[in-house]
């Protein structure tokens, strides 16, 4: 099996990007160890504080965020980092060539039930004329990403990553501490009969999304002419990993409970990196109105609706939005 470095070199990654990815994954291996300790290390449960998103932080949220900040800030390769858990960007060094955005522990509500969680990341070039703590440096569309992926902390620790030359899956070999390539150039099946959507929110969605879901649930007696299965992990990393491996559609659409917010998922920390991975694997990625990777960010914590997955199913879903 190929080592991570070998695949990155074959994909013509610059040396500094390779070194940055290795540094990032060193942090993720530390997070993987902390997660695996669970109750033995006293890291389960919630803190008494909320993050910038207004969400109650889990202890592992705080620990994972600090590990990533510390290791990346000291690497010398990063000009600034932006975290879903932080109100402002964190300047690192004027000489850093890259910006990193991350969700340190996606699905952290799953920690107390020993279910799937993960770290999502996105890497862009740093504008050299900007100060390290200038948040506007991060306001680039997802098409400007040079690398993106997630580390899934499951029965095995896995990395899904793209540098724009296809999406590859790696597995952490704990005998020597390295990530080994276990699936090269993943291709998401174009058709599917699986969906991952929190249908308990259906009554809050736009009519076009409600109609799409109603047609899926109608099965082979409905206009889609086939039966669908629902799968829902309640962690984006888990649901997207399943879609990458065997197809499906994942959606977190706009709903009317907080109409001033475009959606639940964050553009920079979740939607952009997952859209990059999905498109590089032959899948589709849309907000319902436009390609996710072409959204021009206005704020580092901007939210967007998300529809990701098998290309034909994403296209079928988007047909319901036409004229809306």
**244 in a labelled binding site:** no
Identify whether residues 174 and 257 lie together within a single domain. no
Are 96 and 78 spatial neighbours (Cβ–Cβ below 8 Å)?
yes
Whether residue 175 sits in one domain with residue 257: no
Q: Tell me the C-alpha distance between 165 and 24, whole Å.
A: 19
State the pLDDT at residue 54: 60
In the chain, how many domains are there? Answer: 2
Pairing of strands 145-153, 157-162: antiparallel
Residue 288 structural domain: 194-319
Q: Are 18 and 142 in the same domain?
A: yes
Specify the pLDDT at position 40: 85
Same domain, 99 and 157: yes
pLDDT at 53: 63
Same-domain status, 113 and 211:
no
pLDDT confidence band for 33 (50 / 70 / 90): very high
Same domain, yes or no, for 221 and 315?
Answer: yes
pLDDT (mean) for 57-64: 90
- For residues 180 and 173, what is the distance between their CA atoms, to the nearest angstrom? 7
- Grouping H, G, I as helix, E, B as strand and the rest as coil, residue 16 is helix
CA distance 250 to 242: 10
Residue 135: pLDDT band by 50, 70, 90 thresholds?
A: very high
109 annotated to bind ligand? yes
Of the residues 135, 158, 183, the one at which a domain ends = 183
* 56-58/46-50 β-pairing: antiparallel
Q: Kindly state whether residue 156 falls inside one of the protein's structural domains.
A: yes
Percent over 90 (pLDDT), the chain: 85
8: left (phi over 0), alpha (psi -120 to 50) or beta: alpha
Please determine, for residue 7, whether its predicted confidence score (pLDDT) is greater than 90. Answer: yes
Does 108 belong to an annotated binding site? yes
- Judgement on whether residues 241 and 295 belong to the same structural domain of the protein: yes
Side-chain half-sphere CA neighbours of 165 within 13 A = 9
101 belongs to a structural domain: yes
pLDDT surpasses 60 at 48? no
Query: Is 107 marked as a binding-site residue?
Result: yes
- Same domain for 23 and 91, yes or no, is yes
Asked if residues 104 and 266 have their Cβ atoms less than 8 Å apart, the reply is: no
For residue 52, what pLDDT is reported? 60
Please check if 51 is assigned to a binding site.
no
- The values of phi and psi at residue 323, to 5°, are 80, 0
- Kindly state whether residue 198 falls inside one of the protein's structural domains: yes
14 three-state secondary structure? coil
Q: Is 15 annotated as a binding residue?
A: no
List the single range of 50-59, 132-141, 214-223, 249-258 with lowest mean pLDDT.
50-59
The CA-CA-CA angle for residues 237, 138, 149, to 5°, reads 25
Q: Using an 8 Å Cβ cutoff, are 185 and 280 in contact?
A: no
Q: Is the pLDDT of residue 55 over 70?
A: no
Q: Residue 163 belongs to a domain with what CATH number?
A: 3.30.540.10
pLDDT above 70: percentage of residues in the chain? 97
Q: Provide long-range contacts, Cβ within 8 A and 24+ apart, for 181-184.
A: 181/1, 181/2, 181/3, 181/4, 181/6, 181/7, 182/1, 182/158, 184/2, 184/7
Q: 264 a known binding residue?
A: yes
- Residue 260 belongs to a domain: yes
Q: What is the mean pLDDT of the chain?
A: 94
Q: Render pLDDT for 228-248 as a digit per residue (tens, 0 to 9).
A: 999 999 999 999 999 999 999
Coil/strand/helix, residue 198: coil
Q: Which of 2-6, 15-19, 53-57, 281-285 has the lowest mean pLDDT?
A: 53-57
12 with 140, same domain: the answer is yes
**Token reading at 271:** 């939607």
Q: Are residues 47 and 89 in the same domain?
A: yes
List residues bridging with 178 in a β-sheet. Answer: 173
Identify the domain boundary among 114, 149, 183.
183
Neighbours of 39 (CB within 10 A): 10
In a domain, 60, yes or no: yes
Q: Does 284 belong to an annotated binding site?
A: no
Terminal-to-terminal C-alpha distance of the chain: 49
160 and 308 assigned to the same domain: no
Cα 98 to chain centroid, rounded:
18
299, pLDDT greater than 80? yes
> Higher pLDDT residue, 129 or 227?
227
Whether residue 153 is found in the same domain as residue 229 = no
**Beta partners for 153?**
117, 157
Is 198 assigned to a binding site?
yes
Main-chain dihedrals φ then ψ at residue 291, nearest 5 degrees: -65, 130
Q: What is the DSSP letter of 122?
A: E
Element (H, E) at 314: helix 311-319
Q: Strand runs (DSSP E) across 13-144, as ranges? A: 46-50, 56-58, 78-83, 90-91, 98-106, 117-125
Task: Tell me which of 53-57, 72-76, 100-104 is least confident.
Answer: 53-57
299 annotated ligand-binding residue? no
User: Which pLDDT value is given to residue 22?
Assistant: 97
pLDDT tens digits, residue range 301-322?
999 999 999 999 999 999 999 9
pLDDT confidence tier of residue 49, bands split at 50, 70 and 90: low
Does residue 188 lie in a domain region?
no
How far is the C-alpha of 307 from the C-alpha of 314, rounded, in Å?
7
Boundary residue ending a domain (183, 202, 233): 183
Reported as a single tens digit per residue, the pLDDT across 170-190 is 999 988 899 999 999 999 999
Residue range 281-294, pLDDT digits in tens: 999 999 999 999 99
In a domain, 324, yes or no: no
pLDDT in tens, 258-271: 888 888 999 999 99
CATH number where 226 lies: 3.40.190.80
The arithmetic mean of pLDDT across residues 19-27, rounded, is: 97
């Amino acid at each position: 099996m190929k080592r991570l470095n070998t695949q990155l070199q074959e994909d013509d990654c610059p040396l500094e990007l390779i070194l940055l990815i290795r540094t990032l994954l060193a942090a993720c291996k530390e997070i993987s160890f902390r997660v695996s300790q669970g109750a033995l290390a006293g890291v389960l449960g919630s803190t008494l504080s909320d993050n910038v998103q207004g969400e109650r932080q889990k202890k592992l949220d705080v620990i994972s965020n600090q590990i990533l900040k510390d290791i990346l800030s000291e690497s010398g390769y990063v000009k600034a980092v932006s975290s879903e858990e932080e109100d402002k960007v964190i300047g690192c060094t004027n000489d850093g060539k890259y910006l990193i955005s991350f969700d340190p522990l996606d699905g952290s509500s799953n920690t107390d039930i020993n279910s799937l969680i993960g770290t999502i990341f996105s890497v862009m070039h740093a504008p050299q004329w900007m100060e390290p703590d200038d948040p506007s440096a991060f306001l680039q569309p997802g098409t400007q990403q040079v690398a993106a992926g997630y580390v899934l902390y499951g029965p095995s620790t896995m990395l899904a990553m793209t540098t724009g030359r296809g999406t590859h899956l790696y597995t952490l070999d704990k005998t020597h501490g390295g990530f080994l390539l276990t699936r090269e150039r993943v291709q998401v099946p174009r058709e599917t009969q699986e969906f991952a959507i929190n249908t308990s929110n259906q009554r809050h969605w736009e009519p076009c999304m409600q109609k799409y879901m109603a047609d899926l649930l109608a099965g082979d007696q409905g206009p889609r002419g086939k039966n669908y299965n629902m799968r829902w992990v309640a962690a984006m990393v888990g649901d997207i990993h399943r879609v990458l491996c065997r197809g499906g559609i994942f959606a977190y659409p706009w709903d009317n409970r907080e109409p001033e917010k475009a959606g639940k998922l964050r553009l920079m920390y979740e939607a952009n990196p997952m859209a990059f991975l999905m498109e590089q694997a032959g899948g589709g990625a849309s907000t319902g109105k436009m390609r996710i990777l072409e959204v021009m960010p206005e704020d580092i914590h901007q939210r967007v609706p998300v529809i990701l997955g098998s290309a034909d199913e994403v296209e079928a879903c988007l047909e319901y939005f036409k004229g809306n």
